[in-house]
Structure 1
């Protein structure tokens, strides 16, 4: 089965940069090696888009090889409609690794992450809607597109990409999420009706 690699840039454009058939790596690829190679990429590549495109193949290799990671999620909360299970956080290390689950019928806020991010779909189907921030005012956004994601698809975001996640169907969505260091001063959420911005 063919799976897609997607990149969403600050202007809300979502473009494919390759398709793959998931094949197990020749050798076991472990989390510690993934984190080491990830750190090497971050040190040599300052551009968000290039970082994401370099990291996504490593994410795919990790998830195929270290299958146990795909089981490390918590059921979505009945109160919030979602759950997060942190797989890796370390003081002064610029990476957050987590498993995220969304309940059917739930929906995220419209938001940016104010850092690069990668989301690998493990289970369920998910609709992502994309907005573009105004060049002169990040609090103003315009909707520009939508993309359906399926298990095996991986999508990356540059720092100011704005999106909303909506599970589709009757099953929870499960994803492996990876983020850099968030710039809290430029992270926003937007009212879904008025699109008025507020600090996240």
Structure 2
């Protein structure tokens, strides 16, 4: 089932509480456990506030849905306008990506001397599907909206405050890296008592 009451934040709040428990227990299986919970979250739609689903005409958007006060994890909605894509980049922390609306393509890369080398074929993530990225699962990739005529939205959970994490983009021809900190386009407080 993909629909429910529009902007009912109960599923988002329950997801955050579950991730808090998973992260508090720790261990090497945290990304896999979080991925299972992400599958449940993106199996339905309607819980994402409209303000966290707004695209920008030129740039993909990274809207902060929640940042753990201890910076153990963060949750963001990535809003891809038609044809938008990232550069080749890394994360430096584990991440779980769940597709909510539309679809996206992801191409993983291997770094070495010279240009980054493609690993395998480009994958396609459809609504309800989930994938893991991390330094041990494949941390360098390029992601793009699968559509040139509509918006796609994916939900990303990271093992740190991704908007404050120093990461890298890589030149597609030379492999040269450049450090960056992404920040956020917008923020949300899902536990604000004024929200439903």
The alignment's TM-score, normalised by the length of structure 2, stands at 0.72
In 2, the alpha carbon distance for the partners of 1:74 and 1:32 equals 17
2:117 equivalent in structure 1: 142
2:17 equivalent in structure 1: 36
The change in CA–CA distance for 1:196 and 1:93 in structure 2 (over 3 A counts) is closer
The alignment's TM-score, normalised by the length of structure 1, stands at 0.71
2:188 equivalent in structure 1: none
| Equivalent position to 2:97, from 119, 122, 133 | 119
Residue 131 of structure 1 and its aligned partner are, at CA, apart by 0.9
Residue 33 of structure 1 and its aligned partner are, at CA, apart by 3.3
2:48 equivalent in structure 1: 69
Decide whether the 8 Å contact of 1:89 with 1:96 is kept in 2: yes
**Runs of 4+ with >4 A deviation:** 182-185
What whole-Å deviation, never above 9, does each CA across 1:156-191 have from its counterpart, x for those lacking one? 111361010111222221111111115946x22101
1:153 equivalent in structure 2: 129
Alignment gaps of 5+ in structure 1: 1-20
The reply on whether 1:109 has 2:93 as its aligned counterpart is no
Q: Which protein is richer in strand relative to its size?
A: 1
What whole-Å deviation, never above 9, does each CA across 1:45-99 have from its counterpart, x for those lacking one? 332xx2221111212223446731275533321232x112211124324221111
Decide whether the 8 Å contact of 2:43 with 2:128 is kept in 1: no
Describe the SS at the equivalent of 2:82: coil
Describe the SS at the equivalent of 1:69: coil
Alignment gaps of 5+ in structure 2: 181-196
Describe the SS at the equivalent of 1:67: coil
The change in CA–CA distance for 1:63 and 1:184 in structure 2 (over 3 A counts) is closer
The change in CA–CA distance for 1:156 and 1:66 in structure 2 (over 3 A counts) is same
In 2, the alpha carbon distance for the partners of 1:179 and 1:117 equals 4
Tell me how many residue pairs correspond in the alignment.
170
Decide whether the 8 Å contact of 1:73 with 1:99 is kept in 2: yes
